Structures are given as C-alpha cells and as structure tokens.
C-alpha cells in the first residue's frame, strides 16, 4: 500500500504495538492520531512524538467522529480487547468506509466476525506459529519441493 | 422457541425465569462460575460456563440453528461479538442485545443486530415523557418508538368531561383505545362513549402527535 504523507492514520489503543506504530509513522512524517482511554498509556510515546494524542473511549462513536474518522485513510484497532477491536474496525470499515482497516486479534476465531468485510486481521498467534514452522521445518519443506 | 441467554446477572435471572415458565427451550451461557451454579439450581436448567463472546464456547454450548440469541453482558462490544457469531456462524435468525452506551443502539442495528435495547435510553425517554404532563401515569413505546401508548387520568376540570368521543377533536393518527373506569373493568370506546372524571384513558399516538393529543384531552 502506498500512503500519501498528507493522509490521516488513526490508531486506537496505545499499547506497545499502538505506541510503536504511531511513533514510526509520525517519524516518517505521516499525520497520526492515537486514541486511548488511559492517560498513562501515552507514556509509551517518546517526547518527540509529533502526532495527536486523544484521551477518550475508542468505541464511542463521538470519539471517532471527533478525530474525523470519515477522512482517515488508515485505521488500526489494537486495544487489549478483541471484541472492542472488532467493533472499532467494523465502525471504521462498514460505517465510515475507511479504505485500509487493520485489526489485531489474540483469538484467531475472531476472524469469523470480520470475514467478508474490507478489514485486514493481524494475529500474533499465527505469526508466532508461522515463525516456529519456518524455523523448525522451513528447510524440510524446501527440500520436499 | 429455542432461546440462548448469554451473559448478564439479575436481568438474565429474571428473563430466564420468565422464559422457563413459558416452556421455551433455553441454553444459558455465563462467564461467572458461581452465578452459573446459582442459575442452574434456581431454574433447573443446563448452564454452560464460559465467555459467550468466544466462538468455541458458543459451539460447545450447541447454539446452532437456535431461534433467538439474547446477549446481556455488561460490555457492549462483547454483546455485538456474541450476536454476530450467532448470526454469521450458527444460523440464528434473531439476535437481541442490551447496550450500556445508548449511542450504540442505532450502530448495532446497522451492524446486523435485530433488536438493541438501551436501558439508559428507555429510562431517559420514560422520564422525559412522564414530565410532559402531570397526569401522565404510564407511557410505553413499541415498534422502535413508532407507536406511543400513554395512560392519562381525566381530571374533573377537563373540558372533555361529559362529552362523547365523537364530540372531541383529536389530532390525526391518534386514538383513545381504551378507557379504564373504576365501576367497570375496561371499556373499548366507540363514538357514543362518554368520558367521565376519574377515567384513565389509554391513548395511542405517534411520537410527533403524542404531546398534541395529550394537550387536546387535558384542555380545561
């Protein structure tokens, strides 16, 4: 995906992933808004962070309207709660038509909730399993081919 | 009917009691083990312990092709997940949930939940309606607030006392559907029915006409 620097990225959930992602994108010059309902969560952002921090409930429609969700190009739902992430991603994609929506799920079966929608799931479990498969059996598979 | 009640505490307890009495087949799923024991022993029904917003819990509970799923957890996002799993993966036709945030009511309907109940919204609405006129005793709305039924007490100084219904002008789309009078149980009125002081009138109206019809009847 090619992203124009003027385009807006909304990240909901300022955990380790959200904070690092926001910092990376902000450092690269993108317009970043990060939302979390806990003030303390923003401590993970460096002082140099150039984006907007919004302390609010990310599943509240008014919060998302406040950060102009209808003008966002990218939304990443990475709070610590799968069901909240699913809800946020669905609001962004299905209600506001945000073109690039990413959602993190701990529980891989949550995939069934977003199947068929224009939402990209990220599953740490699958990535970890993939890593083990690759590192333990990666060479074997290549041999078989 | 075959009904799943997922999550909830007192609401679930009350609802399950009502449904059991009506001989519905029920599956109860609750994430609180102690409450599961309480529900199972009180209502003599099978209760599944687990987080109902997880796919495998719903699968193990066997909710496939049930008629109705009612999600009552205190987290709105969990309720949505339960309803969406039920509808998308288990062929459940009707899904109902409660929401804590009244703003989610419309949203969840748009995301596929058939009926969303916001108690905050209902209470607020009830209070707003109850404060319009002192004599408004009860008011309820049905069909997503398209129809409002109000119960109105007729005071002796009202202009309509002693008049027959055909001589009272009411706004369009409104009707006095029933009169509750102390001397008799209830009257379904016709044009010749006379309104008496102390009557309780059940007035059916739309949200737009409710205030007008009450003003028309309560005119002194």
Structural domain boundaries in chain A: 8-144
pLDDT at B217: 84
pLDDT digits (tens, 9 = 90+) for A59-111: 888 999 999 999 999 999 999 999 999 999 999 999 999 999 999 999 999 99
- DSSP H helix total and E strand total for chain A: 5, 6
A145 pLDDT higher than 50: no
* Predicted structure pTM score: 0.75
Test A81 with B77 for CB contact under 8 angstroms.
yes
The ipTM (two decimal places) reads 0.87
Chain B partners of A113 at a C-beta cutoff of 8 Å? Answer: 81, 84-85, 88
- Alpha carbon distance A124, A130 (integer Å): 10
Residues of A in contact with B103 (CB under 8 A): 60-62
Q: Please, what CATH class does the domain formed by A8-144 belong to?
A: alpha beta
For residue A122, list its beta bridge partners. A104
Partner-chain contact B88 A113, CB within 8 Å? yes
pLDDT band at B183 (very low <50, low <70, confident <90, very high): confident
Contact A61/A91 with Cβ under 8 angstroms? yes
Closest CA to B63 of B78, B48, B73: B48
Interval B87-139: pLDDT, tens = 999 999 999 999 999 899 999 999 999 999 988 878 777 776 665 555 566 67
Task: Sort out which chain B residues have CB atoms less than 8 A from A110's CB and list them.
Answer: 55, 81
Of the candidates B54, B88, B103, the beta carbon closest to that of A62 is on: B103
Best of B31, B64, B74, B84 to mutate (most A CBs within 10 Å, chain A) = B84
- The verdict on a CB contact (< 8 Å) between A112 and B111 is no
* Chain A residues within 8 Å of chain B (Cβ atoms): 59-62, 81-84, 86-87, 90-91, 94-95, 107, 109-110, 112-113, 115
Q: Which of A90, A110, A112 sits opposite B111 (nearest CB)?
A: A90
Q: What is the pLDDT of residues B34-56, one digit of tens each?
A: 999 999 999 999 899 999 999 99
Q: Is A83 close to B81, i.e. CB distance below 8 A?
A: yes
Question: Which residues in chain A touch residue B101, judged by CB atoms under 8 angstroms apart?
Answer: 59-60
pLDDT of B191 reads: 85
- Asked if pLDDT for residue B75 goes beyond 60, the answer is yes
CATH numbers and ranges of domains, chain B: 2-122 (3.40.50.720), 132-217 (3.30.70.1450)
Q: What is the DSSP string of B82-138?
A: HHHHHHHHS--SEEEEEESSTTHHHHHHHTT-SEEEEHHHHHHHHHHHHTT-TTEEE
Which 3 state secondary structure label does DSSP give A133?
helix
Average pLDDT over residues A112-135: 94
């Amino acid at each position: 995906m090619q992203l124009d620097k003027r385009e807006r990225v909304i990240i909901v959930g300022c955990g380790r992933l959200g904070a690092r992602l926001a910092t990376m994108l902000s450092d690269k010059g993108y317009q970043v808004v990060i939302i979390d309902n806990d003030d303390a969560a923003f401590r993970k952002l460096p002082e140099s962070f150039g984006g907007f921090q919004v302390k609010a409930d990310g599943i509240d429609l008014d919060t998302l309207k406040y950060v102009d969700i209808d003008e966002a190009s990218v939304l990443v739902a990475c709070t610590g709660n799968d069901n909240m992430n699913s809800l946020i991603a669905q609001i962004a994609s299905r209600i506001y038509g945000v073109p690039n929506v990413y959602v993190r799920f701990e529980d891989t079966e949550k995939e069934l909730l977003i199947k068929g929608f224009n939402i990209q799931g990220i599953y740490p479990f699958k990535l970890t399993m993939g890593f083990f498969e690759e590192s333990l059996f990666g060479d074997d598979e290549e041999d078989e081919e | 009917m075959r009904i799943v009640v997922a999550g909830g505490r007192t609401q679930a307890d009350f609802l399950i009691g009502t449904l059991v009495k009506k001989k519905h087949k029920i599956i109860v799923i609750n994430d609180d083990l102690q409450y599961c024991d309480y529900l199972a022993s009180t209502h003599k029904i099978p209760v599944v312990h687990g987080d109902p917003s997880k796919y495998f819990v719903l699968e193990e509970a066997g909710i496939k092709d049930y008629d109705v799923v009612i999600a009552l957890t205190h987290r709105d996002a969990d309720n949505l997940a339960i309803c969406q799993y039920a509808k998308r993966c288990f062929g459940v036709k009707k899904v109902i949930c409660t929401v804590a945030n009244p703003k989610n009511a419309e949203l969840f309907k748009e995301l596929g939940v058939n009926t969303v109940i916001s108690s905050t919204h209902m209470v607020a609405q009830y209070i707003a309606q109850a404060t319009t006129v002192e004599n408004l005793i009860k008011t309820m709305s049905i069909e997503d607030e398209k129809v409002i039924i109000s119960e109105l007490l007729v005071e002796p100084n009202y202009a309509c006392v002693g008049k027959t219904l055909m001589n009272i002008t009411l706004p369009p789309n409104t009707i006095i559907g029933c009169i509750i009078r102390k001397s008799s149980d209830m009257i379904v009125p016709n044009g010749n029915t006379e309104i008496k002081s102390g009557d309780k009138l059940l007035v059916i109206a739309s949200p737009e006409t409710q205030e007008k019809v009450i003003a028309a009847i309560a005119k002194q």
